[in-house]
Amino acid sequence: MAYKFKNGIPIYLQIIDELSISIASGKYAPGDKLPSVREFAVDIGVNPNTLQRAFSTMESMGIVHVDRTNGRYVTDDEKVLSELRAKLSKRYIEELVTRMRKLKMSDEEILNAIKRWLEEV
């Protein structure tokens, strides 16, 4: 299952983004063991050093932690996970509002459009 990487953005940052989304959405639950660096690197089609850099960055963010003898695990710290979801949702909202403002929509029109969409789904 190779990831589709975008040009112009470092691959390790794209991996962090994809893994963060997988963790925030529950694909990887709190306390879940992540695949080994080599296994995961082969699976997503990247150099193990690139994946190691992504994991190390995520460790420093507190999203994953290492058990030196057993591998990497998703944090079970609900505060960290809640902050991750908030950060991702803020980014998505910023993207949505920016695009809608490019359509010359007012804040009220944006809110109404979102409310209508939520009622439809």
User: What's the average pLDDT block by block, 10 residues per block, for the chain (121 residues)?
Assistant: 85 96 96 95 95 97 93 96 97 97 97 96 90
pLDDT score for 87: 96
pLDDT score for 19: 96
End-to-end distance of the chain based on CA atoms, in angstroms? 30
Tell me, what amino acid is at 62? G
pLDDT score for 69: 87
pLDDT score for 68: 85
For the beta carbon of residue 10, count every other beta carbon within 10 angstroms: 12
pLDDT score for 4: 86
pLDDT score for 40: 94
**68 backbone dihedrals φ, ψ, rounded to 5°:** -50, -30
Provide the whole-model pTM: 0.85
